[in-house]
Amino acid sequence: MKFGIVKFPGSNSDEDAFLAVEEVLGQEGVWLWHKDHDLRGADVIILPGGFSYGDYLRAGAIARFSPIMREVVAHADRGGPVIGICNGFQIACEAGLLPGALLRNQSLQFVSELCRVRVDNTETRFTNEYTPGQILRLPIAHGEGRYVADDATLDRLEQNGQVVFRYVNATGEVDPAHDPNGSSRGIAGIVNDRGNVLGLMPHPERAAESVVGSADGVPLFESVLAHVGV
Amino acid sequence: MSRYRVAVHIVPRRGLLDPQGKAVADALHSLGFAGVRDVRVGRHLVIDADAPEAQSAERVVRDMCAKLLANPVTEDFEIAHVEQA
């Protein structure tokens, strides 16, 4: 399976994603430059973390108008899988691939830590290799990760099972003290209503080998393979 | 065609938590500005653009706000000022 990893000016988790795809998953990775006009045959698109275009204006606001994003949106419209990680999640929201927005952390501080994330829906193409309610250790590193949407949207996301990941405490409960950025309802990751676009603030690609502290991100990528029988 | 200077305010939507505004409000309180009730921190953009008349310059900037400058999920915008540049 071919994973296309987009490089925007200011991306910084692109290499980690590439490494996870090629060395951990044993799949093929292809680089997609932000000025490219085609996806080079990629089956799955990863919008990586970083600070595309310096986060000018709003995180992700300018990246969404990159030439490559027109192709990424068309790929998503065809039902193709897209994974937006951290800045990639922000870009996906700005591009209208996912509802809501990501705002400045409630603490006003950049947070960089290993946090606990609960898998709330294992019926997606991105989470089928996890067990329901499984608690993952995943790193986060962001200044603007507070997920917001209006109440009607949040209700709809919950009713449809689109809330895939939530920040939780050691006993697996959502709790404001363990919500690292003040996200609405502890939301760390969501899918769109068709289930082919995932956005999450934690970094599964930086939790791909136990030597770096956690390999809990690997099943996310394996789920994508399992979904199509690779 | 004339050149117009259009200023636009973009602020976090009311009702959404604006932690930056809250931090500023807290700092103002600690300086003794006891009357401060709410602060929202936003952006102020000044755009010079060519347009046939002031109204169309304003209309174009509104379109810019809707498409890029403001996020409709979280921000409100208002045209603060239009003048011939």
> What pLDDT is stored for residue B15 in this prediction?
86
User: From CA A230, how far away is CA A134, in angstroms rounded?
Assistant: 23
Q: Find residues 8-37 of chain B whose CB sits inside 8 Å of chain A.
A: 12, 16-17, 19-20, 23
Cα-Cα end-to-end distance for chain B: 12
A111-119/A163-167 β-pairing: antiparallel
Whether A165 shows a pLDDT value over 90: the answer reads: yes
Residue spans per domain, chain A: 2-227
Q: How confident is the model at residue A228 (pLDDT cuts 50, 70, 90)?
A: confident
Q: Mind listing the pLDDT tens digit for each residue in A168-210?
A: 999 999 999 999 999 999 999 999 999 999 999 999 999 999 9
Percent of chain A with pLDDT over 70: 100
Angle, CA A30 vertex, CA A25 and CA A35 arms, to 5°: 145
Sheet holding A111-119, edge to edge: A28-33, A2-7, A44-47, A82-85, A197-200, A187-191, A163-167, A111-119, A135-142
Which CATH superfamily groups domain A2-227? Class I glutamine amidotransferase (GATase) domain (3.40.50.880)
Subunit contact A104:B16, Cβ cutoff 8 A: no
Which CATH number describes the domain made up of B2-84?
A: 3.30.1280.10
Q: Alpha carbon of A177 to those of A117, A168, B2, B26: distances in Å?
A: 14, 9, 55, 21
User: From CA A44, how far away is CA B67, in angstroms rounded?
Assistant: 27
Alpha-carbon torsion (A137, A139, A143, A149), positive or negative: negative
Whether A161 shows a pLDDT value over 90: the answer reads: yes
Subunit contact A148:B19, Cβ cutoff 8 A: no
Subunit contact B73:A101, Cβ cutoff 8 A: yes
> What pLDDT is stored for residue A19 in this prediction?
97
In this predicted complex, what is the ipTM?
0.84
Whether A107 shows a pLDDT value over 90: the answer reads: yes
A interface with B, Cβ–Cβ < 8 A, is 57-58, 61-62, 65, 93-94, 99-101, 103-108, 146, 148-150, 182
Cα-Cα end-to-end distance for chain A: 7
Q: Mind listing the pLDDT tens digit for each residue in A121-154?
A: 999 999 999 999 999 999 999 999 999 999 999 9
Q: Alpha carbon of A106 to those of A57, A93, A213: distances in Å?
A: 19, 19, 27
Angle, CA A188 vertex, CA A183 and CA A190 arms, to 5°: 115
- Who among B17, B19, B71 is closest to A58 (CB)? B71
- Say which DSSP state A202 is in: S
Subunit contact B20:A182, Cβ cutoff 8 A: no
Q: Mind listing the pLDDT tens digit for each residue in B5-56?
A: 999 999 999 889 999 999 999 999 999 999 999 999 999 999 999 999 999 9
Q: Mind listing the pLDDT tens digit for each residue in A17-52?
A: 999 999 999 999 999 999 999 999 999 999 999 999
- The answer to whether A86 is a known catalytic residue is yes
Partners of B82 in beta bridges = B6
- Say which DSSP state A129 is in: T
pTM: 0.94
